[in-house]
A = this chain, B = another copy of it.
Amino acid sequence: MSKAKVIFDTDAGTDDAWALITLLRCEEKYNIELKAITVVSGNTNVKHGCQNILLILKTMNRLDIPVYAGAADSLLFHSYFKHGHYHGMDGLKDVFRPEEKPSLDLVQKKHAIEGLRALIEENPNEITIFAVGPLTNIALLYKMYPEISTKIKNLYIMGGNHQGIGNSSRTAEFNFHFDPESARIVLDESKCSVLILPWEPCLKACFATPHKEWRFKVLNSINNEIIEFMDKIEIDVQFRKSFCPCDAYLVCCFIFPKMIKKVSEFNVNIELSGEFTRGQMVLDHKLLMKPNATIIEEFDVEMFKKILLWVCGHEIDI
């Protein structure tokens, strides 16, 4: 059976790290081939993002996977963002010394957009892209090569919201709020199948169980380099109310489709010009237009926890 070919497009925050580690751990057993990682500005800038990804790959002994640098900023500049420093100055909580970080020379010379294009052209209708940061890279890819999305198999997006609940502004989720124009372009122009995991089911999962306690007690009851690495970069999660590995939820929904409990299909778009609603994902509740996306409304948190235990090395059946 042929492998599922995937590309991981990421802004290299801590939940991106969980997602990437999950992908790498599952590659062999679940017949996946991670073809490349493309980095985009968001949680941190694109240079730090590349470094963080290389650091994860080094930890996982997988520096063989090609890493490409992508868009250095959102399409439009907005005064309300100057790179989220939500995850520290370097997007990984600033816990690594410069000498611990792999050299940026390991980053591919080609631009991420050219890298994406080449891989898609070489593997037509075979590639699934995980877009777990702002959608700038995907939008630029579409604007440079308008027909390319006909050759993408699936686009899995973590971003947006379906009930107007925001985490970056009143009504907008971070990834879409950081670059609303790119989100608009991707939702308007994708000719491939698009699946979206919005913020609300993630939010519900984070608070459904004492998720944070589980993270540090149950998950940490084993010790290895994954736990050690994630403990370092999630040091502040101990002082917060929740543990929210959104990007990893999405990756698990792909590898273990049973984890998805409820989906709906809608025509969705992005508000660009609202005073309060810029960046909000807007659903065609009146059902006047053809659906362009499948929305994950609910997923199985207990199953996710089992997967993550296995990813971290616990002996457990998923």
Nearest opposing residue in chain B for A281, CB measure: B164
| Contact among B76, B167, B276 for A185, CB-based, below 8 A | B76
- Contacts of A75 on B, CB cut-off 8 Å? 75, 143, 181, 185
Please indicate the chain B residues that have their CB under 8 angstroms from the CB of A278 in the complex: 274
* Given A76-B185, A140-B144, A273-B272; A286-B170 close (CB under 8 Å): yes
Q: Is B286 in contact with A277, judged by CB distance below 8 angstroms?
A: no
Are A164 and B282 within 8 A (Cβ)? yes
Q: How large is the interface on A (under 10, 10 to 19, 20 to 34, 35 or more residues)?
A: 35 or more
Is residue A317 within 8 Å, beta carbon to beta carbon, of the partner chain? no
Would A166 and B76 be within 8 Å (CB), given that A111-B144, A144-B140, A277-B274 are in contact? no
Chain B residues with Cβ below 8 Å from A140 are 140, 143-144
Contacts of A32 in B (CB 8 A): none
Q: Which residues of B contact A280 (CB under 8 A)?
A: 164, 277
Question: What separation, in Å, do the CA atoms of A145 and B144 have in the docked complex?
Answer: 13
A269: CB under 8 A from chain B?
A: yes
A164 to chain B, nearest CB (A): 3
7 smallest CB-CB distances across A and B, nearest first, come from A274-B274, A164-B164, A273-B273, A277-B277, A163-B163, A276-B282, A72-B146
Is A171 a contact of B71 with CB atoms below 8 Å?
Answer: no
The answer to whether B273 and A282 touch across the interface, beta carbons within 8 angstroms, is no
Cβ of A284 within 8 Å of any chain B Cβ, yes or no, is yes
Partner of A77, one of B189, B273, B283: B189
- Nearest B residue to A169 via CB reads B286
Residue of B163, B276, B286 near A271 (CB, 8 A) is: B276
Chain B residues with CB under 8 A of A283 = 164-165, 170-171
Whether, in the assembled complex, A105 has its beta carbon less than 8 Å from a beta carbon of chain B, the answer is: no
A285 within 8 A of partner (CB): yes
How far, in Å, is A226 (CB) from chain B's closest CB? Answer: 32
Interface of A (DSSP majority class)? loop
List 9 interface pairs A-B (beta carbons < 8 Å), by A numbering. Answer: A75-B75, A75-B185, A76-B185, A111-B144, A144-B144, A166-B286, A271-B274, A272-B272, A274-B275
Can you list, as one digit per residue, whether each of A66-98 has a CB less than 8 Å from chain B (1) or not (0)? 000001110111000000000000000000000
Mark contacts of A258-291 with chain B using CB atoms, 8 A cut-off: 1 yes-contact digit, 0 otherwise. Answer: 0000000000010111111110101111100000
Q: How far is the CA of A272 from the CA of B180 in the complex (A)?
A: 13
User: Is residue A122 within 8 Å, beta carbon to beta carbon, of the partner chain?
Assistant: no
- Chain B residues with Cβ under 8 A from A113's Cβ? 144
Report Cα–Cα, A165/B170, bound state, in Å: 16
For A164, the closest partner residue in chain B by CB is: B164
Give, as a whole number of angstroms, the nearest-CB distance from A191 to chain B: 13
Determine the distance from Cα of A188 to Cα of B77 in the docked complex, in whole angstroms: 8
Contact B271 A277 (CB under 8 A): yes
A184 within 8 A of B: yes
A136 to B282, CA, bound (A): 26
